[in-house]
Structure 1
Amino acid sequence: MRSLHHRVSFKAPGDDWYDGKVDHYRVALVRNPCKRHRHPKARSFPATVAAGKTQKLELPRRLSPVSMWAVDEAGNRGRAYQFAYPCPVSG
């Protein structure tokens, strides 16, 4: 049976550089990678590991290509990364 998800893994960023843990990650479908989007329909995924550890997320197969970024408890966004499946994501 074919999986309905893609597992991506990456080195988790910290809340303040590599200190602490971010609150969550936001992931959004990228319709046009050449334009900057606000991503009103982005989905949240919880951050489960400390900075520097390997974070794994199971993303819906229908989301590709995607833009993903970390968000801290104050709502500050980290740098957005864009990628398409299947590909390894490294930090």
Structure 2
Amino acid sequence: MKTITIPVEIPSELLIALNKTSEELKSDFQLAIAISLYKDQKITKGKAIQISGLSRFEFEKEIQKIQVLDSEIEFEQVINDIQNIKNL
């Protein structure tokens, strides 16, 4: 997957307040974006997992934490996921 870098400016105090490294915060941002796009049905679960940088199991645990239900996903997205997996 080809990637791009998008600079995001945040106050440096945020790292201290959250007690996180910049890498940890970057991972949190990637996960939040992946979950948001998945929940809004903009991307498939497979693409969300890829964006999040997590394993399928880890991603499933994270979406369960915020109660994103698989029933919110349309049938077409499931078929698309299956086709993407076959192409791997």
**TM-score grouping bracket, smaller chain normalisation:** under 0.3
Higher normalized contact order (CA 8 Å, seq sep 6+, divided by chain length): 1
- The TM-score, its normalising length taken from structure 2, stands at 0.24
If each structure's strand is expressed as a fraction of its own residues, which one has the higher value?
1
